[in-house]
Amino acid sequence: MDTALEGRATATGAFKWAVAVLAIIVIALSSAKSKLSSTTFEAMCDAVMAVTDTSEMQEADSQMIRRLYGIDPNDYDGAMLYYPVTNMHAAELLIVKLKDEDQQDGVEQAISDRKNTLLKSFQGYGAEQTAMLENSITDIRGNYAFFCSAKDPEKVHDAFSEAY
């Protein structure tokens, strides 16, 4: 047996595990910070739109986002809204990329208000729309806010989660 070689192997092995420990520290620290998504707003919208049926929705401009949600798209890194083509529909999709996590509460409140408004407008006659809104998904996560009211909101939400 070559003891010099064995000694080199042991030293290399120790160095290898030192690299592993350093990696664990760096990954743990970055994981704690990485609640924020690095996905660009455009990539997020593309991923979500790829699975969204927009036949009952139309894209909103900044003014419409302000009107329906009371938030100014200029205050965020990005905001996209698809809203119902007519007052008889309840399918809606909102994605907002926040500048920082401090904006979460404001957007969450805006989504909640909008949902309540829609629920009230269908109360009493729009059973299908009400059910759709009750099944809607709101997800405020790190630097993104997501709201989807659709026939299959889980699928759209899965695409959001995957792209996040």
Partner 1 sequence: MSFQTIPFIFLFLPVALILYRVIPDKLKDLILVILSLLFYAWGDIAHLPVLIFSMAFNYLAGAEIDSFRRSGRDSMAKTAVITSTAADLVLLGFYKYTGFFLSIFGVTYTQQDMPIGISFFTFTVLSYIFDIYYGKAEPEKNIIHYAVYVSFFPKIISGPITEYGKIRDQLADHPVTWLKFRTGLQQFLIGLFKKLLLADKLGETFQALQNTGDLASASAWLGMVCYSLQLFYDFSGYSDMAIGLARMFGFSFDANFDHPYISDGVTDFWRRWHISLGQWFRDYVYIPMGGNRCSSSRLALNLLIVWILTGFWHGASWNFIFWGLYHGAWVLLDRFLIRRFFDRIPKPVRVGCTVLIAFFGWVFFFSPSLGSAFHWFGMMFGSAHLGFWNGTTTYYLKGILLVLIPAIIFCSPKPGDYIEKLSLRDRNSAAVSIAGYVFLFFVCIAAMVSSTYTSFLYFKF
Binding site for partner 1 (CB under 8 A): 1-3, 5-6, 8-9, 12-13, 15-16, 19-20, 22-23, 26-27, 30-31, 34, 37-38, 46-47, 50-53, 141, 151, 154-155, 158, 161-162, 164
Return the SS3 of 158. helix
Strands 57-59 and 144-149 come out as unpaired
- Cβ nearer to partner 1, comparing 53 with 100: 53
CA distance 95 to 146: 5
- Cβ nearer to partner 1, comparing 67 with 99: 99
Minimal distance in Å, beta carbon 58 to partner 1? Answer: 16
CA distance 62 to 78: 10
Minimal distance in Å, beta carbon 23 to partner 1? Answer: 4
Minimal distance in Å, beta carbon 72 to partner 1? Answer: 26
> What DSSP character marks residue 143?
T
Minimal distance in Å, beta carbon 3 to partner 1? Answer: 7
Pick from 153, 35, 142: which is nearest to 94 by CA?
153
- Cβ nearer to partner 1, comparing 68 with 145: 145
- Cβ nearer to partner 1, comparing 72 with 154: 154
Strands 137-141 and 144-149 come out as antiparallel
**Two tokens at 50?**
């790829």
